[in-house]
Structure formats: structure tokens, C-alpha cells
Amino acid sequence: MYHVITQLSTSVPHEIALKIFEFTQLGLPVSCLAAVIGPLKLNSIEKNWLWDIVWPWAVRCGQNDQGGIMCAYWEEMWDWSLDEVREKIGVWAIPQVIL
């Protein structure tokens, strides 16, 4: 569900971006560890993408007061559009940038 809501693929940079998002949403220590250690394997373009695009987006999503992704009642939203679900839980799709 997290990949669909955030529009992140399963590539290594996008998985790290998802961990950053999870850390700002949930505050999980393992997500923080992955967000700090994971970028060591990336090239400079991917690291810049994380710093310039992902962190500001993740912080913005993480600071909402709507309960976020963890408190979503998914069963009531199955027939909603993706935009409606994002609005309800206070999460925005990540800005699309080609890496």
C-alpha cells in the first residue's frame, strides 16, 4: 500500500525514500537506520534527489494531523480514488523526478 500511495517503485533509491517517509510518519528506529545507512550505496545524483526532493516531501507528509498512513482505515477506502485516499490520510504523492 505504501508504494501505491507514495508512487514509489521498488528500486533501491525509492526503497530508501520509502524508509525516509516511514520514519517521518511512524518514527520507527529501523526506518531511521535505513534512511541513514542506505544512501551510502547511492551515487551523487540519487543522494541529491534524496536531500532535495525526498526529505522535504517526507517531512511535509509526516507533519500532518490526520493520523497518517498507520491510522488509515483501508477497508472503508477500497473504492475511493487514489487522490481521495491521499487527501483523507494527509499524504501527497512524491514529486516525480527522473533519476
Identify whether 75 is part of a domain. Answer: yes
Cell numbers found for residue 20: 525516509
Identify whether 34 is part of a domain. Answer: yes
Identify whether 40 is part of a domain. Answer: yes
Identify whether 99 is part of a domain. Answer: no
CA–CA gap between residue 37 and residue 14 (Å, rounded):
14
pLDDT of 43 reads: 93
Identify whether 96 is part of a domain. Answer: no
Identify whether 94 is part of a domain. Answer: no
Query: How many domains does the chain divide into?
Result: 1
CA–CA gap between residue 81 and residue 65 (Å, rounded):
21
Range of the domain at 52: 2-89
Identify whether 6 is part of a domain. Answer: yes
pLDDT of 99 reads: 56
CA–CA gap between residue 82 and residue 52 (Å, rounded):
25
Region 84-97: what's the mean pLDDT? 84
Identify whether 8 is part of a domain. Answer: yes
pLDDT of 45 reads: 93
pLDDT digits 0-9 by tens, 33-86: 999 999 998 999 999 999 999 889 888 887 775 666 777 888 899 999 999 988
SS3 content of the chain, % helix, strand, coil (to 5): 65, 0, 35
